[in-house]
Amino acid sequence: MGKTYKIACIPGDGIGIEVIAASIKVLAVLQPLFDFKFEYTDLPWSSEYYRKNGRYMPPLPEALATLRKHDAIFFGAVGDPDIPDHISLWELLLPIRQGLQLGSNVRPSKIFKGVKPPLAGCEVGDLDWLILRENCEGEYCGQGGRSHTGTPYALGTELAVFTRFGIERHMRYAFELARQRPRKLLTLVTKSNAMRHGMVLWDETFYDVAKDYPDVKWDKMLVDAVTIRMVLKPKSMDVILCTNLHGDILSDLAAALSGSIGIAPSANVDPERKAPGLFEPVHGAAFDIMGKGIANPIATFWSAAEMLRWLGEAKAADGLMSAIEHVLEHGPITGDLGGKANTEQVTQAVISALKQ
Amino acid sequence: MGKTYKIACIPGDGIGIEVIAASIKVLAVLQPLFDFKFEYTDLPWSSEYYRKNGRYMPPLPEALATLRKHDAIFFGAVGDPDIPDHISLWELLLPIRQGLQLGSNVRPSKIFKGVKPPLAGCEVGDLDWLILRENCEGEYCGQGGRSHTGTPYALGTELAVFTRFGIERHMRYAFELARQRPRKLLTLVTKSNAMRHGMVLWDETFYDVAKDYPDVKWDKMLVDAVTIRMVLKPKSMDVILCTNLHGDILSDLAAALSGSIGIAPSANVDPERKAPGLFEPVHGAAFDIMGKGIANPIATFWSAAEMLRWLGEAKAADGLMSAIEHVLEHGPITGDLGGKANTEQVTQAVISALKQ
Ligand SMILES: CC(C)[C@H](C(=O)O)[C@@H](O)C(=O)O
Ligand SMILES: CC(C)[C@H](C(=O)O)[C@@H](O)C(=O)O
């Protein structure tokens, strides 16, 4: 008898709702095939919920307690054309990431057969990265403020706070993951030349932690220079370890270089597994295409595969990834990948591939 | 009789020394051709100077007073394998940028005939950007600190300070420059969803300033999403307005997407022209190739052209750019561009092109 997992499902806003619905269909087919069971709790936390209740979710302790009763969280997207982003994010996604201390955001990128990447001459296997983005602190810790507002002397600050604890937890996880990959190569990304306080703590912590992983090769680059390497020497990198903001930027760049943000998945996890992981596509609510049924569901399918792997259902994860790869290679594919299919057609194609 | 300009020359370190020397040769030929004169002051401020004198340059007030006696500053690079970058930069380049209040860093990128860009199907004219990087404050203001160093509770901070004055000065310049370009399109880049204090001041200041430039079209993107647009829709952008750190990252990405960091120039200027501008290649000291005579001098030649334009010698700037374009198209070119030429061969080719 297979295991049963409790999944908290937060479709959220925009195309998040569409791609989570598509994924639930795929997961329904996957469960009997690989002998596991998902019990979903539907959480309607979203911009619509905010309009009704004046908040995106119940008070934080209650919301986190609800989430903690689950094995994993399956998240769509948050954002609404009528609500400032800094409100929607700081009321839903960021407090969950930080509240559950999901300290590492793992973002794989690779080139699939059938996907035409934008870099000339870049082929399957030439770009296969795992971006390890710190996920709870740094530039996104939320501190800062404003003074003299509305006057010519107005000023605003953003404080990035880096803690040895947060950095080390994240770095050890990056080394653990690098160790499991064939190339075992880790690239540390910081900006410790121009930013000489917290960023230097990153470098120093890295040198300490690296001593415990002598089997992992590593190098170090500044965040500006690493973009050049990503474009001109994609093969030279494997695992890319970076701060919250740097990882945010580099993972979008990686998604673009591998063909589309429409396939990019992410896993927000506590490396010590003291909280349920949160799995979500990297793309957001995508106001421009929401409600049209044309969103690419692959990023969310891949995120579901990462969720399965994290839960220990490696065979189901592999099975789902094979079906995704089959559909990317043979179609149908959505507009962002140069195809004409809609969300439902891609979903049905993945389901057919699973059944074969 | 043409004008005479006083140029403070700081070759600095590594390939900075090589590319400045190459540029001086080119400028020597350019002067009589376009009837202007450069009087150089050679300033040996560098890592070597630091090893001898315990500092990179004289005390700041004295150094700035020296620089202020000039019309422009021609800068190579700073950095030394044996000196931590955060020391070399904070002793030379950053105090000059900030001390002279060179509030805008202007970084053009485009695809030249003869240069093979990494993006498939991207051709001459498809990528023609001006990145306007704020240059005196924000993430590079230098504030922050460390506590509990050496303990498990160690922490470090980086404080980004954004002032209405600094933002507005920079934004007005961006609008002025956008207005002079055929497409008159400005893209504001911030991260005001996750960073909700100083970044929001950027957005608000932008909305205010934009009212004064109704002839400039604008749009707005988050820094992560803009990397996707740069890769997948390069034609859709013209002038890109961003913070110090974002501009640092995006300008390296732009250099890579236009073929090589070896051609990317930059102008550090006070939009109000109360201080001499500083012109430098975007690449740094490049420890891996320094001393070999193979550095690409084009980034520095282009920086010299920007210096001439800023000084009011538009014809000389155009003449130099034509010679650069001729050599990029017909060769010889350096290794970073796929050629085999050394610095001297490229320099002589530009000189020959000038003479024709
Ligand atoms: C929506 C936003 C806050 C979020 C982030 O920057 O973390 C998104 O860009 C992402 O990459 O997950
Ligand atoms: C050397 C470094 C401080 C500098 C910067 O980040 O400003 C460089 O990367 C640049 O882009 O001019």
Substitution target from A47, A94, A204, A224 for chain B, most B beta carbons within 10 A? A224
Tokens of A179: 């160790």
Q: Which residues of A touch B164 (CB under 8 A)?
A: 148, 151-155
Give CATH superfamily name and number for A117-258.
Isopropylmalate Dehydrogenase (3.40.718.10)
> What's the whole-number mean pLDDT along residues B311-324?
98
Q: How far is A5 from chain B (nearest CA, A)?
A: 31
User: Which ligand 1 atom sits closest to the C-alpha of A93?
Assistant: 3
A191 is catalytic: yes
Rounded to a whole number, what is the distance in Å from the CA of A95 to chain B's nearest CA?
11
| B58-79 per-position pLDDT tens digit | 999 999 999 999 999 999 999 9
Tell me whether residues A197 and B90 touch, CB distance under 8 A.
Answer: no
Please provide the average confidence, as pLDDT, over all residues in chain A: 97
Give the architecture (CATH level 2) of B1-102+265-356. Answer: 3-Layer(aba) Sandwich (3.40)
Q: Which chain A residues are Cβ-neighbours of B139 within 8 angstroms?
A: 158, 194-195
pLDDT tens sequence across A303-344: 999 999 999 999 999 999 999 999 999 999 999 999 999 999
Per residue in A190-208, pLDDT (tens digit) is 999 999 999 999 999 999 9
HSE at residue A200, side-chain half, CA atoms within 13 A, is: 17
Distance (angstroms) between ligand 2 centre and the Cα of B248 equals 6
The Cα–Cα gap between A80 and A6 comes to: 28
* Distances, alpha carbon B328 to alpha carbons A116, B123, B302, in Å: 29, 14, 12
Binding site membership of A196 for ligand 2 (Cβ less than 6 Å): no
State the Cα–Cα distance between residues B275 and B1, nearest whole angstrom.
25
Alpha-carbon span B307 to B277, nearest angstrom: 8
Q: Do residue A154 and residue B160 have CB atoms under 8 angstroms apart?
A: no
Q: What's the whole-number mean pLDDT along residues B139-151?
A: 96
* pLDDT of A172: 98
Give the count of beta carbons closer than 10 Å to the beta carbon of residue B61.
Answer: 9
A252·B224 Cβ contact <8 A? yes
Chain A residues whose CB is inside 8 A of the B86 CB are: 192-196, 200
Q: Is the pLDDT of residue B327 over 90?
A: yes
pLDDT for B1 beyond 90: no
Please determine, for residue A188, whether its predicted confidence score (pLDDT) is greater than 90. Answer: yes
Q: Return the pLDDT at A1.
A: 78
Q: Is A224 near ligand 2, meaning CB less than 6 Å away?
A: yes
Task: Compute the nearest-CA separation of B314 from chain A (Å).
Answer: 31
Q: Answer whether B91 contacts ligand 2 (Cβ < 6 A).
A: no
Tell me, using a 6 A CB cutoff, whether residue B264 lines ligand 2.
no
* Closest in B228, B253, B257 to A261, CB measured: B228
Average pLDDT for B15-31: 98
Mean pLDDT on A274-292:
95
Q: Closest approach of chain A CAs to the CA of B231, in angstroms?
A: 6
Contact A252 B227 (CB under 8 A): yes
Alpha helices in A241-297 (DSSP H): 244-257
The minimum-distance atom of ligand 2 relative to the CA of B244 is 7
Test A160 with B163 for CB contact under 8 angstroms. Answer: no
Query: Which residues in chain A have their CB less than 8 angstroms from residue B142's CB?
Result: 196
Atom 12 of ligand 1, nearest CA residue: A282
Evaluated on CA atoms A86, A90, A96, A101, the torsion sign reads positive
CA of A248 to the centre of ligand 1 (A): 6
Query: Closest ligand 2 atom, CA of B85?
Result: 1
What confidence tens digit (pLDDT) does each residue in B37-55 have? 999 999 999 999 999 999 9
Atom of ligand 1 at shortest range from CA of A94: 3
> Can A1-102+273-356 and A117-258 be said to share one CATH topology?
yes
What residue type is assigned to position A258 of the chain?
A: S
State if residue B281 touches ligand 2 by the CB under 6 angstroms criterion: no
Residue percentage of chain A with pLDDT more than 90: 98
User: What pLDDT band is residue B85 in, cutting at 50, 70 and 90?
Assistant: confident
Closest CA–CA distance from residue A350 to any residue of chain B (Å): 26
Residue B82 to residue A274: CA distance in whole angstroms: 43
pLDDT, position A198: 96
CB contact under 8 A, A193 and B224: no
As a whole-number percent, the residues of chain B with pLDDT over 70 amount to: 100
* A212 annotated active-site: no
Q: Which CATH number fits domain B117-146+154-258: 1.10.10.10, 3.30.420.80, 3.40.718.10, 3.90.1300.10?
A: 3.40.718.10
Q: Cβ contacts (< 8 Å) between B90 and chain A: which residues?
A: 196
CA A67 to chain centre: 18
Is the CB of residue B128 below 6 angstroms from any atom belonging to ligand 2? Answer: no
Tell whether domain A1-102+273-356 is in CATH 2.60.40.420. no
State the pLDDT at residue A343: 98
A31 alpha carbon to ligand 1 midpoint, in Å? 30
Contact at CB, A157 and B191, closer than 8 angstroms:
no
Q: Which atom of ligand 2 is nearest to the CA of B266?
A: 12
Measure CB to CB from residue B198 to each of A116, A157, A255 and give the nearest one.
A157
pLDDT at B239: 98
Alpha helix locations (H) across chain B? 15-34, 47-53, 60-68, 85-91, 93-99, 164-179, 198-210, 223-232, 244-257, 298-311, 314-330, 343-355
B99 by DSSP, 3-state: which? helix
pLDDT tens digit sequence for A48-104: 999 999 999 999 999 999 999 999 999 999 999 999 888 999 999 999 999 999 999
- For residue A153, the chain B residues in CB contact (below 8 A) are 163-165
Q: What is the pLDDT of residues A216-264, one digit of tens each?
A: 999 999 999 999 999 999 999 999 999 999 999 999 999 999 999 999 9
Residues with CB under 6 A from ligand 1: A 89, 248, 282, 284; B 193-194, 224
What are the chain A neighbours of B94 within 8 Å (beta carbons)? 194
- Check B252 against A159: CB less than 8 A apart: no
Nearest CB to B89: which of A120, A193, A224?
Answer: A193
Q: Mind telling me the catalytic residues of B?
A: 140, 191, 224, 248, 252
Six-digit token pair at A216? 């992992």
Output the CA torsion B20→B26→B32→B35 (10° steps). Answer: -60
Which of B6, B2, B99, B1 is closest to B307 using CA atoms?
A: B6
Per annotation, catalytic residue among A191, A213, A270, A336: A191
**How near does any CA of chain B get to the CA of A29, in Å?**
33
Q: Give the span between the Cα atoms of B267 and B241, in whole angstroms.
A: 15
- How many percent of chain B have pLDDT more than 90? 98
Sequence ranges of the domains in chain B: 1-102+265-356, 117-146+154-258
Cβ B155–A201 below 8 Å, yes or no? yes
Per 3-state DSSP, what percentage of chain A is helix, strand, and coil (rounded to 5)? Answer: 45, 25, 35
Nearest CA to ligand 1 atom 5: A248
> What is the rounded distance in angstroms from the CA atom of residue B185 to the CA atom of residue A37?
52
